[in-house]
């Protein structure tokens, strides 16, 4: 399909051909949800930890004699039922990662791109380049394009001035094409691709 290309100033810059295999799919929420869950699980630190009964600093001697007291039989004060004892079945340091087939991950990215096109939240810019690293200037340019909440994907190498100018604008993320991912696409309102990014995606999914 043919898609209109704009400049950062909002002027027409011709058209680009988009592959139906990448941008023309009928988005499936279940695949997107699986991918987002996969990414968020991978991001979790998993450093939560409580001390078990073998780790708390407390005497391990028997609390009182076994028989004759009329009380329940107890051994160590480190047991979970006592104040200051170890936690039973508490969280431990672990990885929250789980597997997701590579083909499903690739399919999810195509569904995310198709979802943005279908909802008319996709914009293609001829080149993401800034003459100078001025945040105020670039913020004004984005406002004229209606980009208040957006993910911008450039080519393999990002223009340094553009990257520096955009990094302080709230709700705007800038990534090279190799960093494109489903979670960032869905969490931002608009998806802005450069022509170089489109070409790289076409090559990636060829």
Domain count, the chain: 1
Residue 78 domain flag:
no
**Which pLDDT does position 68 carry in this prediction?**
95
Is residue 75 in some structural domain?
Answer: no
- 82 lies in a domain? no
pLDDT at 23: 93
Does a structural domain hold residue 129? Answer: yes
Q: What is the largest distance, in Å, between two alpha-carbon atoms of the chain? A: 94
Q: What would the two tokens of residue 86 be?
A: 């170890």
Which pLDDT score is estimated for 206? Answer: 82
- CATH number for 151: 3.40.1370.10
Give the range of the structural domain holding residue 146, as residue numbers without chain letter.
2-36+100-204
Output the pLDDT for position 13.
83
Is residue 138 within 8 Å of 166, Cβ to Cβ?
yes
Whole-number Å distance between alpha carbons of 165 and 136? 8
**Mean pLDDT, 10 residues at a time, over the chain (206 residues)?**
87 88 93 97 95 93 94 94 95 96 96 94 91 90 90 91 92 93 95 93 90
- DSSP structure class, residue 196: H
Q: CA of 145: how far to CAs of 57, 86, 192, in Å?
A: 61, 58, 11
Flag whether 54 is in a domain: no
**What letters, b where the CB count within 10 A reaches 16 and e where it falls short, cover 95-115?**
eeeeebeeeebebbbbbbbbb
Q: Classify residue 11: in a domain, yes or no.
A: yes
Tokens describing residue 179:
């960093």
- What is the predicted pLDDT for the residue at 116? 94
Does any domain span residue 104? yes
**Do the domain assignments include residue 46?**
no
- The pLDDT of residue 114 is 95
């Amino acid at each position: 399909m043919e898609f209109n290309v704009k400049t950062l100033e909002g002027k027409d810059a011709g058209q680009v051909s988009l592959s139906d295999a990448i941008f023309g799919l009928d988005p499936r929420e279940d695949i997107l949800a699986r991918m987002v869950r996969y990414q968020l699980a991978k991001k979790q630190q998993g450093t939560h930890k409580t001390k078990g009964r073998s780790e708390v600093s407390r005497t391990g001697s028997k609390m009182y004699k076994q028989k004759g007291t009329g009380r329940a039989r107890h051994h160590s004060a480190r047991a979970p039922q006592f104040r200051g004892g170890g936690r039973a079945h508490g969280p431990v340091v672990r990885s929250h990662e789980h597997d997701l087939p590579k083909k499903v991950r690739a399919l999810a990215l195509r569904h995310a791109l198709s979802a943005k096109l279908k909802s008319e939240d996709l914009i293609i810019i001829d080149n993401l380049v800034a003459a100078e690293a001025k945040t105020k200037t670039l913020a004004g340019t984005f406002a004229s394009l209606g980009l208040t909440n957006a993910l911008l994907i450039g080519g393999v190498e990002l223009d340094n001035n553009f990257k520096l100018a955009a990094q302080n604008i709230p709700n705007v993320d800038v990534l090279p094409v190799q960093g494109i991912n489903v979670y960032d696409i869905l969490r931002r309102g608009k998806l802005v691709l450069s022509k170089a990014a489109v070409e790289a995606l076409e090559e990636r999914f060829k």
